[in-house]
Amino acid sequence: MSEIPLLIRREGSVLVITVNRPDKLNALNAATLDALDAAFAAAAVDDQVRAVVLTGAGPKAFVAGADIAEMNTLTPVQGRDFSLRGQRMMRRVERMPKPVIAMINGFALGGGLELAMCCHLRIAADTAKVGQPEINLGLIPGFGGSQRLLRLAGRAATLELCLLGAPIDAARAQALGIVNRVVPAAELETETMKIAAQLAGSAPLALRGILDCIDVGGECGIEEGLEYEASQFGLIFSTDDMREGTSAFLERRKPAFKGA
């Protein structure tokens, strides 16, 4: 029987994507990267999906890294292509028009941390470990780790994690800004799904506007970022959801957003 790299289920308006290679600690091989790319491409255009949760199968790992056995045989050109393949998929996740939450249930190392960092929010079990240990294999991060970690945690922490290659616990990851929240392992799914449900109930076009503004603003100067924010703010005034949200506030009722 061929391996099924992903398990996908829907809970209301929340899509749950699980990397399903527990015997390999959910390591990312080429087939899994392609499956993730296809799953997120489909979710982006599915009007029934308003938020996505990404996690790993089994009790040990979110994703423990890229598949070392597969990488061991690559030529330099193939290695670059593998890096670009992973980067394209993770950029797709980062540019999703709907919020994506990484539910970090165990090891998120190397490509696993890179995958978590391209998500919009990261909720970690208190037993989770994260890191960029590529140096221990004679490698460097290849799926965007040096760039996203730098933007999340700063230069000093990025140099420490990448040069020393030692994992850190969830509490330190939160202190460095790598993860948003740390919860007891037994409560991880409940707490993550609670946040996902909240996001799924928010105004979809406003969520998209926020994601766009932050993505653009993180890569440009303040004046350009402010101009982009103002243009997106103006566009929101053309939506039914904006009228519904402000009317509901004035009428002291709960809004019913429809994504229009």
Quick one: tokens of 225?
Answer: 């970022």
> What strand order describes the sheet that includes 107-109?
61-63, 107-109, 129-131, 168-169
| CA proximity to 40, closest of 112, 108, 83, 88 | 88
Does the pLDDT at position 61 exceed 50? yes
How many whole angstroms separate alpha carbon 179 and alpha carbon 169?
11
- CATH 3.90.226.10 segments of the chain: 6-200
Q: What is the pLDDT of residue 1?
A: 41
User: Which tens digit of pLDDT belongs to each residue from 70-97?
Assistant: 899 999 999 999 999 999 999 999 999 9
| Catalytic residue set | 114, 134
The pTM (predicted TM-score) of the whole model is: 0.94
Say which CATH topology domain 204-250 has: Lyase 2-enoyl-coa Hydratase; Chain  A, domain 2 (1.10.12)
- Cite the residue boundaries of each domain of the chain with CATH code 1.10.12: 204-250
For 156, other C-beta atoms within 10 Å of its C-beta total: 9
> How many CB atoms are located within 10 Å of the residue 258 CB?
13
CA distance 143 to 32: 14
CATH (residue range 6-200) = 3.90.226.10
